[in-house]
Amino acid sequence: MFESILVANRGEIAVRVIRACRELGIRAVAVYSEADRRALHVLEADEAYLIGPPPSSESYLRVDKILEVARESGAEAIHPGYGFLAERAPFSAAVRDAGLVFIGPSPETISAMGDKTEARRRMKAAGVPIVPGVTEAISDPDSATEVAEEIGYPVLLKASAGGGGKGMRVVQETSDLEKSFEAASREAQAAFGDGSVYLERYLDAPRHIEIQVMGDRSGKVLHFGERECSIQRRHQKLIEEAPSPVVSEELRAEMGAAAVRAAEAVDYLGAGTVEFLFKDGEFFFLEMNTRLQVEHPVTELVYGIDLVELQMRVAAGEDLTLQQADLVPTGHSIECRITSEDAKRGFLPSTGRVDFLKAPGGPGVRWDGGIIAGFEVGLHYDPLLGKLIVHAPSREAAVRRMARCLEELVIRGVETCIPFHRSVMDEEDFRSGNLSIRYLEDHPDLISEPDEDEILKAAAVAAALLQEEERSRVEIQTTQRAETGGFSAWKRAGRPFSGNR
C-alpha cells in the first residue's frame, strides 16, 4: 500500500479521501487555493500546499503545480476526487509519466469513454444494450434525416465529445432536423472544440439508474448494484438512493452483468459508474463515468464497503478479494446534496460566511461535510457544502430518518437547499418511489424561478464579491507567501492521536 497520497481536490470529497488515507495509515497531502486557506480539507490533511489563487484554472486545474507538490512532498499516488482533473486523460497520463500512480483508470480508458460514439461502439460490441441510434458521428443534415426516419421520431441529437447535456437537441419531426443539427453542432463546437454530433431515439421521462463497478489490475470487475439518481436539476443530481425502488434482484443481476461487461470492454481499473436510462422495464447504456462519484456513499452504506479504500488498494496493485455472489445490498440508503443554493429562488447560488453549523447524528446517519463554521462560501467552486446520507432497514424508514436529519441539520450564514429536501421528503411521488428525470418539472411547487429583480440583485452581489476577492488576493499573496512551502496546522500543533503513524 502507498505511504503517502496527494489529494488533488477540495471540499467534501477531499475530506472523504483524506479520511480513508488516515484510517489506512497513509499520509494525506492536500493542495489548496487562496480561497481555501481555512477549508476543512486543509485542516484534516497531514500536510497542505498552497498552489495558487482562487480560480480553478490557476489552482486545482494546474497539473504542473500539483505534480510539483507530489514531488516535493514525496507522495506516491494522486487521488483526483471528482470534477477538476478526475476525467482528463492527459492528467492520468502525466501522473503516470511522472512515475506516480493515478488512482483511477488509464488515460486510454478515460479517452475511450469520453468519446460518446466510441463508447457506444464498444458497448454494442460487448453486448451492452445501447439506446437505438447510430454509433458514428453524422456528417450532414441529410444523413441525419435518413437515420432519424429509420429509428423513428422523436430523436435526440448529441455531441460526440459531450456529456452533461451540452449540445443536446430533441427533434420532433423532419422539418426541424436541419436547424437543430446545425445548432447542436455549433453548441458542441463551442463547448468541446469538436462539432461532431450523433443521433439516438429520444426516451421521454426515463429514470436515471447507474451501476457502481470496481476493477483490479488482474482484470477482475465487480459490481455494487445500482443507484437511483433520477431527481436532478439541469444535470445536477440532488437526491440519490440505493437500491432503486424499481430494480428487482433479477434486474440488478442483469444490469450489473451488463455494467461489468462495459467495464471489461475498456480494461477498467478502479471505481467507475455505468449510467443507464431505464424505461418500461428496459435499460440502455448512456455513459460511463471514469471516476468516483459524489453519490458513492449510498452504495457504501447498503453494501457495507469503503469504495475509496478499495480504489486505493487496487491502484496499489492489490487484487479484489470480494466475490460477486457475496455482494448483497442490505436496507435502504438516501443521500441529499446540501448546496449553497436557494431552491425558492430557482437555485440561485448564495455566498457568505457560515457562522453556525449543526450536523445531525444518531444511528444510520452520515454527514460528509466539506465545510466548518467560519468558512467563507464564495463563487469560485461548485456549491456543494456537504452530503447528508442515511441508512435504514427499509425505504420508508430511510425517508423518515432523512426527514428527521434534515430538521436537525442547521447551516446559518448562507442560503441552502435544505428546505427543498424537506419538502421532497413529504412529497407523494417521492414517498412512493414514482420518479423520473422529469421529477422537478413535474413538481414545480418544490422550486420557483427567481424573478428578474432577484437575478439582477444576485448578479450585482456576485460581481461585487468577485471584485473584493480579487483585491484581497493581492494582499494575501504579499503577506502570506511564506506558507507556500507546505503548511500544516497539525504539524505545528502536533496532531492528536497520531501514535500509530
| 341 forms part of the interface with ligand MV4 (CB under 6 A) | no
Instruction: Please say which residue, 163 or 243, places its beta carbon nearer to ligand MV4.
Output: 163
| 163 forms part of the interface with ligand MV4 (CB under 6 A) | yes
Helix, strand, or coil (residue 169): strand
Name the minimum Å distance from CB 483 to ligand MV4. Answer: 40
* Cα dihedral 1→104→295→207 (10° resolution): -140
Half-sphere exposure of 373 (CA within 13 A, CB side): 8
| 290 forms part of the interface with ligand MV4 (CB under 6 A) | no
Beta-carbon contacts of residue 493 (< 8 Å; ≥ 6 apart)? none
According to CB under 6 A, which one of 76, 228, 240, 287 is a site residue for ligand MV4? 287
| 2 forms part of the interface with ligand MV4 (CB under 6 A) | no
From the list 95, 351, 67, 319, the residue with the least C-alpha distance to 218 is 319
Name the minimum Å distance from CB 277 to ligand MV4. Answer: 6
Query: Binding segment for ligand MV4 among 157-165, 416-424, 427-435, 466-474 (CB under 6 A)?
Result: 157-165
Task: Tell me phi and psi for residue 351, to 5 degrees.
Answer: -130, 165
Ranges of beta strands (E only) in 234-355 are 236-242, 270-279, 282-289, 332-339, 341-342, 348-349, 352-353
Active-site pick, 291, 337, 345, 401 = 291
| 442 forms part of the interface with ligand MV4 (CB under 6 A) | no
Residue by residue, DSSP assigns 86-135 as: TT-HHHHHHHHHTT-EESS--HHHHHHHHSHHHHHHHHHHTT--B-SB-S
Instruction: Say how far apart CA 267 and CA 105 lie, in whole Å.
Output: 8
| 71 forms part of the interface with ligand MV4 (CB under 6 A) | no
Query: Binding segment for ligand MV4 among 50-58, 196-204, 325-333, 377-385 (CB under 6 A)?
Result: 196-204
| 358 forms part of the interface with ligand MV4 (CB under 6 A) | no
Helical axes 11-23 vs 307-315, angle rounded to 10°: 70
| 165 forms part of the interface with ligand MV4 (CB under 6 A) | yes
Q: Is 291 a catalytic residue?
A: yes
Name the minimum Å distance from CB 340 to ligand MV4. Answer: 22
Q: Using an 8 Å Cβ cutoff, are 193 and 317 in contact? A: no
Ranges of beta strands (E only) in 165-235 are 169-171, 197-201, 207-215, 221-233
From the list 343, 366, 342, 360, the residue with the least C-alpha distance to 352 is 342
According to CB under 6 A, which one of 156, 288, 307, 424 is a site residue for ligand MV4? 156
| 294 forms part of the interface with ligand MV4 (CB under 6 A) | no
Name the minimum Å distance from CB 132 to ligand MV4. Answer: 8
**Site mask for ligand MV4 (CB under 6 A), range 218-257, x = bound:** --------------x--x----------------------
Contacts to ligand MV4 by CB under 6 A: 131, 156, 163-165, 200-203, 208, 232, 235, 277, 286-287, 437
Show which residues are catalytic: 291
